[in-house]
């Protein structure tokens, strides 16, 4: 009786052990399954659009693109640099995709674009003690106040004209990132910074600058932004598939829920 029971237990142990090994091999096989492609996405710290959290690159733009890449069974890897550096890398084919890009003729010479997937506008953020209550950027600049901008960002035709105006051009101060410009306000190197309002309020909240920096009444009209693909490193079929994936997400209202989560 005891011997029979021992055999049964031994057999059961072997069965469980074998089953565990099979399950382990199956899981390893699934995790090691090779995907159809890998796309390198360039990013800069622009929370909540693109940022690092607990060692993972995430944000609105990142999550939207990863979902589009999943539809093509593609992995996404990441490279962090400044926006100006990333534009150069994309033109060379060293980076495959950038997010939050405005479509311009100059960029179309070396890049293809997805359908636009969200709007982006700009607000002038100023020191809390600044008394300017006007609604135009021209009025702010007329007081000889300096405005921080991020290198190679496109702020629209209105701002572009002011940046090239002989009276105001010297009042625009480049920096590598929008977040750096916020601190340049505190250091009195500039008097205001143009930033996406969602990004600007996020920086103020995260860096606890609410008692030192505020949004002004100056708002630059919104423009639509898209994903930007390198013509050198992403082939035509991949570009077409990505364009279709983003289009489907926009049309099926799969983008807004991602934006709302942040």
Per the structure block, which two tokens stand in for 18? 């074998």
pTM over 0.75: yes
Strand intervals (E) in 102-212:
111-113, 118-127, 147-150, 172-175, 192-195
Per the structure block, which two tokens stand in for 99? 């997010």
Q: Do residues 84 and 152 lie in contact, with contact meaning Cβ atoms separated by under 8 Å?
A: yes
Q: What domains lie within the chain, and their CATH numbers?
A: 37-118+224-261 (3.40.190.10), 121-222 (3.40.190.10)
Cα–Cα distance measured from residue 226 to residue 243, given in angstroms and rounded to the nearest whole number = 10
Cα–Cα distance measured from residue 148 to residue 191, given in angstroms and rounded to the nearest whole number = 8
Cα–Cα distance measured from residue 114 to residue 103, given in angstroms and rounded to the nearest whole number = 10
Q: How confident is the prediction along the chain (262 residues), in pLDDT tens digits per residue?
A: 433 443 443 443 333 344 444 454 444 444 456 678 999 999 999 999 999 999 999 999 999 999 999 999 999 999 999 999 999 999 999 999 999 999 999 999 999 999 999 999 999 999 999 999 999 999 999 999 999 999 888 898 999 999 999 999 999 999 877 788 999 999 999 999 999 999 999 999 999 999 999 999 999 987 899 999 999 999 999 999 999 999 999 999 999 999 999 8
Q: Do residues 191 and 185 lie in contact, with contact meaning Cβ atoms separated by under 8 Å?
A: yes
């Amino acid at each position: 009786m005891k011997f029979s029971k021992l055999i049964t237990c031994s057999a059961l142990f072997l069965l469980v052990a074998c089953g565990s090994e099979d399950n382990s091999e199956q899981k390893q096989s699934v995790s090691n399954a090779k995907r159809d492609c890998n796309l390198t996405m360039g990013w800069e710290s622009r929370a909540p659009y693109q940022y690092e959290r607990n060692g993972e690159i995430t944000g609105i733009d990142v999550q939207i693109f990863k979902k589009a890449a999943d539809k093509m069974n593609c992995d996404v890897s990441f490279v962090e640099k400044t926006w100006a550096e990333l534009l150069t890398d994309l033109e060379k084919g060293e980076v495959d995709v950038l997010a939050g890009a405005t479509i311009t003729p100059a960029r179309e010479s070396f890049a293809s674009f997805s359908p636009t997937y969200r709007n982006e506008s700009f607000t002038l953020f100023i020191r809390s003690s600044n008394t300017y209550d006007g609604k135009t950027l021209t009025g702010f600049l007329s007081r000889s106040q300096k405005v921080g901008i991020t290198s190679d960002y496109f702020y629209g035709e209105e701002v572009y004209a002011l940046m090239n105006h002989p009276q105001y051009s010297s009042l625009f101060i480049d920096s590598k990132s929008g977040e750096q410009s916020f601190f340049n306000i505190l250091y009195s190197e500039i008097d205001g910074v143009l930033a996406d309002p969602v990004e600007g309020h996020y920086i103020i909240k995260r860096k606890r600058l609410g008692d030192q920096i505020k949004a002004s009444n100056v708002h630059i009209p919104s423009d639509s932004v898209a994903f930007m693909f390198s013509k050198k490193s992403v082939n035509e079929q991949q570009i077409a598939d990505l364009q279709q994936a983003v289009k489907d997400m926009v049309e099926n209202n799969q983008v807004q829920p991602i934006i709302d989560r942040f």
